[in-house]
Amino acid sequence: MEHITTNDHTFSYRLQGSGPVALLVHGFPLDSAMWLDQIADLSDIRRCVAPDLRGFGGSIPTTESDLSMERHADDLHAMLDALWIESVDLVGFSMGGYIALAFAERYPGRLSSLSLVDTKSAPDSEAGKEGRDAAAARVTADGRSALASDLIGVLLDESASLWTRARFRTMVEATPTETIVAALKGMRDRPDRTAVLAKLAVPVAVIVGENDVPTPVSEADQMARTAGGRLTVIPHAGHIAPIEQPSMVADALRSLWSEDPSG
């Protein structure tokens, strides 16, 4: 792991490979380790940078009670400046997709392409917001193990292996409870960024597990149509496609980048 201090915070990140830069943004409540398979598969064609977001993974703890998507996007922008990286193939998974859309809205000139994995551009419904608040109360009262069990029951496809479930649980239980609560608030309050998709001037891929419950194929298809991008449906996967079917997700990214004029 590498470390960098920027934007008044110290972040850890994974760095491997050569070529144009791919910035891989993890989801909630995970960390950059979720991308290990894709980093290994794609480092022959991309310099993969996978940060731990503020308060997550190996990055230092945060005292912020509201981790907004804009806050994370600004952190990523500061990291790119500090690493002297001009443009990236941006890949965002779930919460990372919300952050990627915020980044695309604020810093469109830094994008070479955008890949959105198991995510959505629409805001939370009222029921969704209530679910975020309930999850924050649940993890505070009953701990990360209880939250991990809840999420495994909803997010992973029923065919997910025991090892896949164990890997997911490890990352959830390693995330500080206060970070989880702050991230839930940030996700709950994010705005609708569907209009951002329509304005993108770079290649776009939307990747989704065929059995994704929180961000279903129908929503992913509409996102791809709005962006004029490509849709890839990953078989035998729920919401955590990069961990459930890592090679298929890597292949979808490789396919997009092979048609990208930048490399």
Q: Model confidence over 175-216: pLDDT tens digits?
A: 999 999 999 999 999 999 999 999 999 999 999 999 999 999
Measured CA to CA, the distance from residue 152 to residue 244 in angstroms comes to: 12
Each residue's pLDDT tens digit, 46-92:
999 999 999 999 999 999 999 999 999 999 999 999 999 999 999 99
Interval 94-98 mean pLDDT: 98
Instruction: At 144, list the tokens.
Output: 């990360």
End-to-end Cα distance, the chain: 26
Q: Which residue has the tokens 């290649």?
A: 203
Dist. CA 28–CA 40, nearest whole Å: 22
Could you tell me if 45 and 257 are in contact, meaning their C-beta atoms sit under 8 angstroms apart?
Answer: yes
User: What pLDDT score was predicted for residue 101?
Assistant: 98
Handedness of CA 134, 167, 119, 71 (dihedral sign): positive
Instruction: Quote the CA–CA distance of 181 and 117 in Å, as a whole number.
Output: 23
Closest to 61 measured CA to CA, from 4, 10, 109:
10
pLDDT at 262 over 50: no
Whole-angstrom Cα distance, residue 56 to residue 50?
12
What Cα–Cα distance (Å) separates residue 12 from each residue in 5, 52, 70, 165? Answer: 9, 6, 19, 25
The pair phi, psi for residue 39, each rounded to 5°, is -60, -45
Round to whole Å and give the CA distance between 58 and 134: 27
The alpha helices in 34-161, defined as continuous H runs, are: 36-42, 69-82, 95-106, 126-142, 144-155
Residue 57: closest CA among 36, 81, 80: 36
- Check: CB of residue 210 under 8 Å from CB of residue 234: yes
CA–CA separation, 195 and 101 (whole Å): 10
pLDDT band (50, 70, 90) for residue 217: very high
User: For residues 173 and 194, what is the distance between their CA atoms, to the nearest angstrom?
Assistant: 32
- Asked if the peptide bond before residue 261 counts as cis, ω within 30 degrees of 0, the response is no
Nearest to 25 by CA among 98, 82, 74: 98
Count: domains in the chain: 1
155 and 211 Cβ atoms separated by less than 8 Å: no
The tokens for 89 are 């193939």
Residue-level pLDDT at 263 = 44
Q: What is the DSSP letter of 9?
A: E
Task: Tell me what the pLDDT averaged over the chain comes to.
Answer: 96
Q: Check pLDDT > 50 for residue 261.
A: no
Domain CATH code at residue 52: 3.40.50.1820
Rounded distance between C-alpha atoms, residue 112 and residue 199, angstroms: 14
Print the domain residue range for 230: 2-259
